[in-house]
Structure 1
Amino acid sequence: MHGRMMLEPLLISSLLRHAERHAGETEIVSKRVEGDLHRSNWREVARRSRQAAQAFARLGCVPGDRVGTLAWNGHRHLEIYYGTSGSGLVCHTINPRLFPEQVAWIVNDAADRVLCFDTTFLPLVEKIAPMLTTVQYFVVMTSRAHMPAVSSLPGLLCFDDLLAPEDGGYAWPTFDENTASSLCYTSGTTGHPKGALYSHRSTVLHAYAAALPDAMACASRDVVLPVVPMFHVNAWGLPYAAALVGCKLVMPGPHLDGKSLYELFEAEQVTFSAGVPTVWLGLLNHVNAHGLKFSSFKRTVIGGSACPPAMMASLQQDYGVEVIHAWGMTELSPLGTLSKLTTRQQSLPPEQQQRLLEKQGRVIYGVDMAVIDDDGRSLPCDGRSAGNLVVRGHWVIGRYFGQDDSPLVSVDGEPGWFPTGDVATIDADGFMQITDRSKDVIKSGGEWISSIELENIAMAHPGVQEAAVIAAHHPKWDERPLLVVVKKPGAAVTRDELLAFYEGRIAKWQIPDDVVFVAELPHTATGKLHKLRLREQLRSDT
């Protein structure tokens, strides 16, 4: 027997339709690449999103086609978000901080038909354009007045001009809620990046969960400023959650320094934000140096990498900003856990509460998780038993884009769990804490860096016999790569020579900070590098 309820598919367009109808005058503010402060609202964003859908159709795009973006947080990027997904296209956000060849590989793997980009990224697009095999149209996300005077790209289109002929009289189509909506790639820490292809259903459910009180607690009275880029797992879902609750949305564009953020926070009376620890370090340094306070900023979600306890304490105690520690990953759309205390935990002594808040937190409904041993057996939730962290849920991927093989594993004989690659504990209250990573990747300022890739480059140097890369603590970036090298007999290679060897082979921000020369590297019984022992050795030597 079925219930007697309406059957409305969970579509991304329904979020925008709701915001347009019930929060149409609520502001959308953008600090644009052009340097000005642009003011719009949900009604205008909805109209231009419909125009964008019409414009992409005029270019020949059909449902399922991918539209790539290389762009900061701004109203045009938001319009593309909704204009593509709402019309059945796939919005493919691309991380411009990756190495150019990697960006080109991602565009080709996604088979993007259109590539939209901010003027900031024109040099990058001009460089990779000859490598792109599927892009038919290059669209600059600006007005006619700010179009580049000269470009090597043929037939360059202007986004505002592209929308101008359209009347916006477009009816969002209805289709299966499991239709693909957006595509985000991992950072390629082991081999090529892999695509996570989200659905309308998974995205809407993720937006619902993100707005819950035990998650980001978004409400219509909030003023939300996502510092996390829209090219980072869809800005952690905030462009969708903001439409769901109909709140004011403020977007900082490329202006992410402490001074610019503080001024925007104050001018627009921002109440809630989200980003990686590096951003908050810059903001705290600015307010500390100038003796400033926040007049409206009340809470922030910090994720991407572990939030230093001192930063958390400073935001909470010195500035009255609640810090919500979060964990997630591209394959989880990305939210998995957030650190919110239960009623019982709020009665604990302050130091115990703080230790809990420094963990990655509890799952929200829609995600389940477990820690397992190497044989797939679940481990007790006692806060001590560390194991491989696995998850499943409504917005967890089942397969990567373009790949038939499933990465899923079984837990106690039950199939359908995604292995995160993290090692963690879960306590009796459900608080999860990441204790290690099963793959030796380095997370610097919220960006992953592959130790294997760095090691392979070092090993290509004629003076290097063996190399290992490990994470070294950094006060600003959380972690930075440290290169440890065994020289070939008789080789006179220097630190500066090795670091210079990386230039042109990898993005500059991924180059190791320092080099340590050793007589030999520790190995396991099977001949693999023993990085845990190496870290201990270097720690004891310093």
Structure 2
Amino acid sequence: MHGLMQDRPLTLPQLLPGMERQYADSRVITSYDTGPVSMTFLETLERVHALARALDGLGVSADARVATFAWNTQRHFELYLAVPCSGRVLHTVNHRLFAEQIDYILRDAGDEVAFVERSMLATVWPVLERSAAIRHVVVVNDGTAAPVPDDPRILDYDQLVDASLGSEHPFAVDDERTASGLCYTSGTTGLPKGVLYDHRSTVLHALLLQVADGYAIRRQDVLFPIVPMFHVNAWGYPYAAVMCGSTLSLPGPVTAPERLAAQMERDRITLGAAVTTVWTTVAPHLEGKDLSSVRSLICGGGKVPTSLSEHYKATIGVHLSSGWGMTETSPAATYVAQADAPGMAPDRIDLMSRPGSSLPLLQFRIVDPPGSTSELKWDGDTAGELQVYGPTVAGQYLNRDATEGFTEDGWLRTGDLATLDPHGAVTIVDRVKDLIKSGGEWISSADLENLLVSHPAIAEAAVIAQDDERWGERPLACLVLEPGHAMTAVEMRNFLDGKVAKWWIPDDIAVVTSLPKTGTGKISKLQLRTSLAVAADA
């Protein structure tokens, strides 16, 4: 027997009437060098209609992938709505990736049109210029005076929108499994992999962010997503804001820490989201500011140092809270249990720096060996590969084999080694693969090692994570040199320059006589870390 409820799909167009009616006065505020620009949800919706009309007028296919290279701004927010609500796929691209990765991503996605902030043109134009598939490049004005190439494909964003103002677009997506967004992983263990979200998963994720024992986003909030809108959809905050009418305060193209701190005070921020690196740089600029409006500051992209969380508590009265997720999990997957939750004690501030427990609708398990379905016990001590299952979790990568990165019964293999306590709280203890997380971004040690050993002076190389106060972790290159050769950190950096993204390049090297090996002849990074730590203490 089926229920007798109305058959309304979970799609993003269902959120738009709220912007027009009950949340019409909620605002989107964007910071620029010239000052903040504010617009109501109703005014924003009018521009969203116009933008969708403009896409139609350009002949962009009904289900086209639309690439964006853009900051956290009002115009990017308009794209967040106009593209998927018109049935197309919003493809947010991280311009900080290496050029070859961006080129691969655009080809793999099959993008027809690209929207590019003017200040990013110099970075991405060399890739866009040689793309035969991208028919239009729409330049978004961000207040900079960067030169615009002379190319017939280039159009102006505001001119497109202004030409269509006053006309509505018939937003309708009938199938909730229609693709809505596309985001690629960082490609740390090979080429980047595409995660294709659908309307159903995006709507459900927005709902999960409003759960009271989770992030508890509500209409009264002023959300401050510093985490980039080109990086896993700003952790879903824009869509949650639309759903419940929260005001959005967006940092715009300039994210100097002193400006972020000033914006928190100016806009009376209640909930902020950023990687730990950002909160570290903002911390010195909090003194003397009225931040009494802040109720929660969320950290992602790495462990939250207890000392940093305590600094925020002492300065503004709010601890930093940790969260965990991946591109593949939409991304929010956990929430931080509060001090009065089962198993928690008010004096255990260290627990605030851990990922917390899974959000509703998501299931976690730890297994051993990695990739298997052999579940381990939840005792807080036994570690295994963390796997995730749920309606906001990817089930397959775009244009990849269905089994790549997933178990035989469909669970996502996260690549993290973790424990689960009896209450379901997660602790990430290591990585199944040797990855380094610096400033919230993954760096592949294997890729760096392969490049380093191609240098004629380097016999062997191992790259390990080194704790860093600002970035969380930075790569350290441990090198065994060929007889008669020498190498400095500067020479190593010069060799890697142009071969990988600049933020991947290790800051320093450790020249060693040999690298410790396991019984099977593999480099033991555990022993290497231990030996280097002992040497440093000697």
Give the shorter-chain TM-score range: over 0.9
Q: 2:163 aligns with which of 157, 162, 165?
A: 165
Counterparts of residues 13-52 of structure 1 (less than 5 Å): 13-32=13-32, 35-52=34-51
Q: 1:447 aligns with which of 441, 448, 458?
A: 441
CA distance in 1, matches of 2:315, 2:284: 13
CA distance in 2, matches of 1:168, 1:489: 73
> Match of 2:259, as an amino acid?
S
Superposition deviation, residue 271 in structure 1: 0.9
1:138-195 CA distance string (max 9 Å, x none): 001128x977654244431000101122133112113200000000000000111000
Percent identity (aligned)? 40
Asked if the contact 2:176–2:199 (Cα under 8 Å) also holds between the matched residues in 1, the reply is: yes
CA distance in 1, matches of 2:396, 2:519: 34
Q: 1:151 aligns with which of 149, 152, 165?
A: 149
Q: Which residue of 1 aligns with 2:333?
A: 336
1:103-150 CA distance string (max 9 Å, x none): 12211211111010111101012222233231110001128x977654
Structure 2 SS opposite 1:506: coil
* 1:367 paired to 2:362: yes
* Distance verdict in 2 for CA 1:465–1:94, change over 3 Å: same
Asked if the contact 2:265–2:289 (Cα under 8 Å) also holds between the matched residues in 1, the reply is: no
Q: 2:376 aligns with which of 374, 379, 397?
A: 379
* Runs of 5+ unmatched residues, structure 1: none
CA distance in 2, matches of 1:135, 1:343: 53
Superposition deviation, residue 407 in structure 1: 3.2
1:413-442 CA distance string (max 9 Å, x none): x81211100000000111110000011111
Counterparts of residues 51-200 of structure 1 (less than 5 Å): 51-142=50-141, 150-166=148-164, 167-200=166-199
Counterparts of residues 262-273 of structure 1 (less than 5 Å): 262-273=261-272
* 1:351 paired to 2:339: no
* 1:206 paired to 2:186: no
> Match of 1:161, as an amino acid?
Q
Moved more, 401-410 or 499-508: 401-410
Superposition deviation, residue 212 in structure 1: 1.0
> Match of 1:156, as an amino acid?
I
Asked if the contact 2:301–2:441 (Cα under 8 Å) also holds between the matched residues in 1, the reply is: yes
Q: Which residue of 1 aligns with 2:529?
A: 535
Counterparts of residues 357-506 of structure 1 (less than 5 Å): 357-374=352-369, 375-407=372-404, 409-410=406-407, 415-506=409-500
Moved more, 380-389 or 167-176: 167-176
Superposition deviation, residue 199 in structure 1: 0.2
CA distance in 1, matches of 2:147, 2:414: 46
* Runs of 5+ unmatched residues, structure 2: none
Structure 2 SS opposite 1:376: coil
Superposition deviation, residue 396 in structure 1: 0.5
* Distance verdict in 2 for CA 1:286–1:368, change over 3 Å: same
1:62-110 CA distance string (max 9 Å, x none): 2221000011001100101110000000000001111122212211211
Q: Which residue of 2 aligns with 1:282?
A: 281
* Distance verdict in 2 for CA 1:344–1:183, change over 3 Å: closer
> Match of 1:519, as an amino acid?
T
Superposition deviation, residue 379 in structure 1: 0.8
* Distance verdict in 2 for CA 1:452–1:152, change over 3 Å: farther
CA distance in 2, matches of 1:399, 1:267: 43
Superposition deviation, residue 198 in structure 1: 0.2
1:274-326 CA distance string (max 9 Å, x none): 010111111111224xx445232221111111111111112123311243210
Asked if the contact 1:324–1:339 (Cα under 8 Å) also holds between the matched residues in 2, the reply is: yes
Asked if the contact 1:223–1:271 (Cα under 8 Å) also holds between the matched residues in 2, the reply is: yes
Superposition deviation, residue 507 in structure 1: 1.8
* Distance verdict in 2 for CA 1:449–1:153, change over 3 Å: farther
> Match of 2:475, as an amino acid?
P
* 1:249 paired to 2:248: yes
Asked if the contact 1:99–1:506 (Cα under 8 Å) also holds between the matched residues in 2, the reply is: yes
Asked if the contact 1:465–1:485 (Cα under 8 Å) also holds between the matched residues in 2, the reply is: yes
